[in-house]
Amino acid sequence: MIGSSTVTAVTTFFTTRRHGQAVLSAVRVGYGLTTALMLLVNLPVRSRLWGTQAAYDWEAFVAGSLQAGQPSLYALSSSAVWADILYFGTVVAAILFALGWHTRVVAVVFFVLLWSLHVRNPVVTNGGDNIMRIVLLYMIIARTDTFWSWRAYRGQRPPGRLRQAVEPYAIVANNVALVACVVQVCVLYVTSGLFKVQGRMWQEGTALYYVMRTADYNTWPELTRLIYQWPAVVVIATYAAVFVQVFLPVSLLDQRLKRVLLPLVLGMHLAIGLLMGLPYFSLFMIVTDLFFLRDKELRDTLAALKSHSRRILRRQSPEARPTPGPATVFSLPGGRDDGL
Amino acid sequence: MDRAETPRGRGPRIAAGIAIVGLVAHFGLTIMHVGPISPLSQQLAPVTNAWINPFFNQNWELFAPDPVNTDMGLLVQARGPDVADEEAWVDISTPLLERKLHNPLPDHLHYVVTGSAHNFVAARQEIIDHPSVADQFPEAEPFAAALPQDVLAAAPEDLRGAYDFTLDSLMSTAARSWSEQMGQEPTEVKIRLVTHTFPRWSERADPGIGEVVYSDLPWSSVATVGADS
């Protein structure tokens, strides 16, 4: 049934080189920065979220986490100082993870601290935190600091004998982790889409109206009121959300489908982040969606964005460049605009 | 680069083979864990639970099968030597929602109150819906917000535990928010759960706010809040 050429192709994929190095590096930076942002925004209220004033009193939390078999460093002491040490430790770990400094060790520390934080107060976590901490677990056995990291900046040291011996297995581990991340994200989307298909409000095409009117998620009532005046907008957006989620995994097999679905899912997550007051969920999901890109696609996209934003900056501030060079001439309005 | 593209020796290939089997098993169990209950998922439940919990625990019923479509608010009354007005119902939800309104980078504080309320209501509903409770109280009137003792007694222990846990957390959350808002220390609090069913789709243009239902929890001493865990 499975030919020997398939077996060779699969073993070649897993054993010859590390795949997804740009994607894994970008996800590392995105997860680290988003976590740091989320934690710093919550700095003034941290004691009510994860400290002595948290939703679950410390004794109740310890009993509950023991019973559920969920270890947490917050269970070691009830003191405010200890909670603060863990909180600030998580901020530092998130930033170091984004910087790619001693990435493997930092990734483990970051996971342990983040897990402990999530267990301390499950009331304030959502699907974004859930997918992020599971993907983070897989990322521990991948190499995530090939690009945009302290390691890349400093340059590689020649590998020692032990590292050379382990290298072929480290390659396998990286590729297994990458496949696990991609499959995990597919599980998320298909499950989430299929559960929605079963709901009456999603079938009727009105689900997004209810989401937009719920006080918890209605950050811009003036704006959402305008949006839900239009049945076509609500129904099409509701159906689109379900279809995009169910079919997004198929885009891994079809480039044309990907060019349609990936921008749609990006738009969906931006709308959730902006309209529903869920910016951290939105950022975690957008970063996680990068797993649908191949390295080359990600790098091409980044290059295109970079040249595009340079052009826009030049257009907006002509006085910044009193003597335009040849490159600027091309980017003047009416000049070349081919996305390169 | 030529050397790098050559498949490696036997060791890494065996490792890759084992890893692929591991991936299939892991995601097989993950799908059993996140998907609906099936004969297969029931049969595999012990293995699934042992493998998935706690670190691979996940739930992707995001806004499904139906999205949240009611608002839940809390009004709190407080007693104590330090409390100026023991009759006043203080709205602790609206100030939190106002912090979030028009704020592109809101903090998580509002989740503490709404999340605690939703968790309590969900734990309460799970007891009411449990077959052993539903069998024993088929024609019962709608239960009070705090479930009567005989109803609780009919429920399995883990559901009762979750109910007590979420109730304690709701009480202590309410007491803290009240005290932060009023700058006074209560010794007892009473919670009024406000369930707001805003206009349904067909009434979306109505100027009215929809339907509001109040249900009260009994007075609870703040000193004992969370202590009996």
pLDDT band (50, 70, 90) for residue A1? low
Read off the pLDDT of each residue in A156-176 and give the average, rounded to a whole number: 92
- Percent of chain B whose predicted confidence (pLDDT) is above 90: 83
* Better-scored residue on pLDDT, B32 or A67: B32
| pLDDT at site A335 | 32
Cα A215-B63-B195 angle, rounded to 5 deg: 40
Tell me if A145 sits within 8 A of A302, measured CB to CB.
no
CB contact under 8 A, B7 and A12: yes
Contacts with B161 from chain A: Cβ below 8 Å: 67
CB contact under 8 A, B111 and A184: no
Cα A18-A20-A21 angle, rounded to 5 deg: 75
| pLDDT at site B8 | 61
Domain boundaries, chain A: 16-157+165-187
Tell me if A112 sits within 8 A of A89, measured CB to CB.
no
Six-digit token pair at A336?
Answer: 């070349």
Alpha carbons B6 and A16: distance in angstroms, whole number: 6
pLDDT tens-place string over residues A109-120: 999 999 999 999
Q: Which of A144, A111, A127, A138 is nearest to A269 (CA)?
A: A127
Label residue A296 exposed, middle or buried (CB < 10 Å: 0-12, 13-18, 19+): exposed
Picking from A43, A216, A226 by the largest number of B CB atoms within 10 A of its own CB, the best residue to mutate is A216
Confirm or reject contact between A6 and chain B (CB < 8 A): no
Alpha carbons A198 and A21: distance in angstroms, whole number: 38
Amino acid found at A273: G
CB contact under 8 A, B108 and A274: no
pLDDT band (50, 70, 90) for residue A94? very high
ipTM of the complex: 0.90
How much is the CA Rg of chain B, to the nearest whole Å? 24
pLDDT tens-place string over residues B154-204: 999 999 999 999 999 999 999 999 999 999 999 999 999 999 999 999 999
Cα A65-A104-A97 angle, rounded to 5 deg: 80
- pLDDT of B1 over the 90 cut: no
For residue A172, what is the nearest residue in chain B, using CA coordinates?
Answer: B16
Alpha carbons A305 and A263: distance in angstroms, whole number: 14
- pLDDT of B5 over the 70 cut: no
Alpha carbons A139 and A176: distance in angstroms, whole number: 10
The residue behind tokens 């738009």 is A267
CB contact under 8 A, B71 and A215: yes
Those residues with Cβ within 8 angstroms of residue A17's Cβ, 6 or more apart along the chain or in another chain? A171, B4, B5
What dihedral angle (degrees, nearest 10) is formed by the CA atoms of A187, A189, A191, A194?
Answer: -150
- In chain B, beta strands by DSSP E: 71-79, 90-91, 188-197, 211-216, 220-221
Confirm or reject contact between A77 and chain B (CB < 8 A): no
- pLDDT of A284 over the 60 cut: yes
Six-digit token pair at A198?
Answer: 């079963």
- pLDDT of B85 over the 60 cut: yes
For residue A131, what is the nearest residue in chain B, using CA coordinates?
Answer: B58
Q: What is the rounded average pLDDT for all residues in chain B?
A: 90
Read off the pLDDT of each residue in B103-119 and give the average, rounded to a whole number: 94
**Helix, strand or coil, per DSSP, at residue B80:** coil
CB contact under 8 A, A176 and B23: yes
Contacts with A229 from chain B: Cβ below 8 Å: 205
**Helix, strand or coil, per DSSP, at residue A310:** helix
How distant is the alpha carbon of residue B203 from its chain centre? 29
pLDDT tens-place string over residues B135-154: 888 766 788 899 999 999 99
B30 min Cα distance to partner chain A (Å): 8
Confirm or reject contact between A17 and chain B (CB < 8 A): yes
Alpha carbons B130 and B185: distance in angstroms, whole number: 38
